[in-house]
Amino acid sequence: MTSLIRNIEFDCADAYALGSFWAEVLGGVLHQDDRPEVPEVLVSTGEGSGPGLLFLLVPEGKKVKNRLHLDLQPQDRSRDEEVERLLGLGAKVVADFRKPDGTGWVVMIDIEGNEFCVERSQAERIVTGDI
């Protein structure tokens, strides 16, 4: 028998704020018991088919680049529209690998400095023949 990924955990300084940010990014929901004063926040994403994101309060701050990061693929908008939406939520661009032919991705950080990437949508991949 094999294992399933139940949750992906993030150490953080403010579990509720970071969990709320990622719930907004992913269209997810916070667990009904999550409040600003609790040390852990669980975000359920999608229709419950994938792992949750669990945010845990830790005393130490982030010091180095993530060894693991999320790659996001927009579902109902273009990559560039998604980058703009995420900027509006408080994310920042740290590296831009978009190419003139429409391929590439954008490296961003969330509100606590965790890196993640925004790739092209499925529709954009179909247009360029890169499925």
Q: According to the model, what pLDDT value does residue 61 have?
A: 85
Q: What is the spatial distance between Cα 6 and Cα 2, in angstroms, rounded to a whole number? A: 13
Q: Provide, rounded to the nearest whole percent, the portion of the chain with pLDDT above 90.
A: 73
Q: According to the model, what pLDDT value does residue 45 have?
A: 79
Backbone angles phi, psi at 32, to 5 degrees: -60, -25
Mean of per-residue pLDDT scores for the chain = 92
Q: According to the model, what pLDDT value does residue 47 have?
A: 66
| 21 pLDDT more than 90 | yes
Instruction: For domain 7-60, give the CATH number.
Output: 3.10.180.10
Q: Global pTM?
A: 0.89
113: left (phi over 0), alpha (psi -120 to 50) or beta: left
Domain over 62-131 is classified CATH 3.10.180.10: yes
Q: According to the model, what pLDDT value does residue 64 have?
A: 86
Q: What is the spatial distance between Cα 11 and Cα 62, in angstroms, rounded to a whole number? A: 8
Q: What is the spatial distance between Cα 107 and Cα 50, in angstroms, rounded to a whole number? A: 23
Which token pair is 110?
Answer: 């969330």
Which token pair is 104?
Answer: 């590439």
The residues, any chain, with a CB within 8 Å of residue 67's CB and separated by 6 or more, are: none
Q: What is the spatial distance between Cα 127 and Cα 10, in angstroms, rounded to a whole number? A: 35
Q: What is the pLDDT of residues 54-78, one digit of tens each?
A: 999 999 988 888 889 999 999 999 9
CATH 3.10.180.10 residue spans of the chain:
7-60, 62-131
